[in-house]
Amino acid sequence: MTKSVACLLLLVSASCLADNMTVDKIYHPYVLANEREVEWRLMSSNTDAGNLLAQRLGYGQAFTENKSIEFYVIGERDSDDNFTVSGYEIETRWMLTEQGEYSSDWGAFFEIEKQDSEANYEFSSGLIVEKELGKVSATLNGILSYEWGDTAENELEIAMRGKVRYRYLSAFQPSVEFHVGERFVAIGPGFMGTYRFDGQKQLKWEASFVTEVSQPGKHHTLRFGVEYEF
């Protein structure tokens, strides 16, 4: 990888401040001009705190040739096993380089999330890099987050997510992905695919099952997502 990617890896590994890191989507650096999309994500985790279930439903669209914005409603299962709206999020993605312009493709994203019931907030920014070597693609996200609010601790978190995938078929691409934070490392298999229709219409799906390897015990996370772009 490039020197910039190596610096990003060193920054994350040397500076992680979070107690753990939620397993979440691994972003790719690309934005299509005039794209619109509807997205649904699900994450189910087995941890010391119990079985956690969260879902996100979002709508987004490109507002320039290389920038897009997306709005999410976040739902979580509470301690009484009721599924309720827990927060809202606005996300912007920015494609920094054209695909194939350089040896690696670069992008960035910015998110702000607010809890539904309390005045707690989280702002995240991420740098995205993807490099292709034949039919293999390597993707890395370096993420910096800050939490604040009435009941939230003012806390800075640095984390990293990534995957290496084999582009076997457009509709089926196996991968290995990892998620890293302070005292948290998870790794496991993943799969993704794209079904293309007329014009820009396409359906993307992804799934992964990662296991924490940094702590004793068996903590697993199932992640699944579907995007329809049109």
- The answer to whether 68 and 31 have CB atoms below 8 angstroms apart is yes
- The answer to whether 70 and 227 have CB atoms below 8 angstroms apart is no
Give the angle subtended at the CA of 40 by the CAs of 93 and 45, to the nearest 5°.
100
CATH assignment at residue 70: 2.40.160.40
SS3 128: strand
Tens of pLDDT along the chain (230 residues) come to 444 444 444 444 333 333 445 799 999 999 999 999 999 999 999 877 678 899 999 999 999 999 999 999 999 986 678 889 999 999 999 999 999 999 999 999 999 999 998 899 999 999 999 999 999 999 999 999 999 999 988 999 999 999 999 999 999 999 999 999 878 999 999 999 999 999 889 999 999 999 999 887 778 999 999 999 99
Number of domains present in the structure of the chain: 1
If one counts every other C-beta atom within 10 angstroms of the C-beta of residue 132, the result is 15
Tokens representing residue 205 in the block: 């799906």
Residue-number span of the structural domain to which 72 is assigned: 3-229
